[in-house]
Chains A and B, each alone.
Chain A
Amino acid sequence: MEKYYEKELLEELHDIQETYGFISEEDILRISQKRDIPKAQLYGVISFYSMLHLEPTGKYIVRVCDSVSCRLNESAALVKALKDYLKVGENETTKDKKFTLEVVECLGHCDEGPVMMVNDTYYTHLTVTKALQILDSLE
Chain B
Amino acid sequence: MEKIFLKKDLGKSLEEYDFPGLKNALNMEPQQVINKIKESGLRGRGGAGFPTGIKWETVLSIEDDTKFIICNADEGEPGTFKDRFLLENLPFKVLEGIIISGYATGSKYGYIYIRGEYVEAIKIVKKAIEKLYEKNILGENILNSDFSFDLKLVRGAGAYVCGDETSLINSIEGDRGKSRIKPPLPVFEGLYGKPTVVNNVETLAAAAEIMNYDNNPYSEMGTEKSRGTKLVSISGDVNKPGVYEVEFGKLTVRDIVQELAGGVKGEKIGFVIPGGISTEALTEEELDVPYTYENLQKMGSNIGSGGMIVVSSQRNYLEIVKNVSDFFRDETCGTCFPCREGNKNISKIVSDIYKRGYPTSKEIEIISDIQYAVSSAARCGFGESSLNLILSLFEKFYTKKVEV
Contact = CB atoms under 8 A, between A and B. Distances in A.
Interface string A22-60: 000000000000010100010011001111100000000
A106 interface: yes
B154 A10 contact: yes
A98 B75 CA distance: 30
A94 interface: no
Contacts of B81: 108-111
Contacts of A113: 235
Interface stretch (A65-73, A80-88, A131-139): A65-73
A96 interface: no
B103 to A, nearest CB: 18
Nearest to B236: A72
Contact of A108 (B118, B176, B311, B331): B118
Contacts of A117: 117, 119
Contact of B155 (A10, A50, A110): A10
B177 A49 contact: yes
Contacts of B309: 68-69, 72, 110
B241 A45 contact: no
Contacts of B231: none
Nearest to A113: B235
Nearest to A71: B323
B227 interface: no
Contacts of A5: 109, 150, 152
Contacts of B320: 68, 71
A110 B330 contact: no
Given A69-B309, A106-B77, A108-B84, A10 B241 contact: no
Interface residues of A, number: 39
Contact of B158 (A8, A104, A112): A104
Contact of B324 (A1, A68, A109): A68
Nearest to A111: B241
B224 interface: no
Contacts of A11: 154-155
Contacts of B118: 108
Contacts of B307: 110
A4 interface: yes
Question: For chain B, which range describes its interface: under 10, 10 to 19, 20 to 34, or 35 or more residues?
Answer: 35 or more
Interface stretch (B8-16, B43-51, B54-62, B167-175): B167-175
Contacts of B40: none
B323 A111 contact: no
Given A5-B109, A111-B233, A111-B235, A66 B172 contact: no
Nearest to B319: A71
A77 interface: no
Interface in B104-120: 109, 115-120
Contacts of B398: none
Contacts of B324: 68
A78 to B, nearest CB: 14
Contacts of A4: 66, 109, 191-192
Nearest to A49: B157
B156 interface: yes
B120 to A, nearest CB: 7
Given A72-B309, A108-B117, A1 B109 contact: yes
B308 to A, nearest CB: 10
Given A1-B109, A66-B323, A72-B237, A49 B174 contact: no
B188 interface: no
Interface string B58-93: 000000001000000001111111001000000000
A76 B379 CA distance: 33
Nearest to A9: B174
Contacts of B277: 67-68
Contacts of A50: 157-159
Contacts of B152: 5, 8
Nearest to A17: B157
B231 to A, nearest CB: 13
B234 interface: yes
Interface in B314-340: 315, 319-320, 323-324, 327, 330-331, 333
B243 to A, nearest CB: 8
15 contacts: A35-B174, A49-B116, A49-B156, A49-B157, A50-B157, A50-B159, A68-B273, A68-B320, A72-B235, A106-B79, A106-B160, A109-B84, A110-B309, A111-B233, A111-B235
Given A4-B66, A71-B319, A106-B78, 4 more contacts: A10-B172, A14-B157, A63-B117, A112-B241
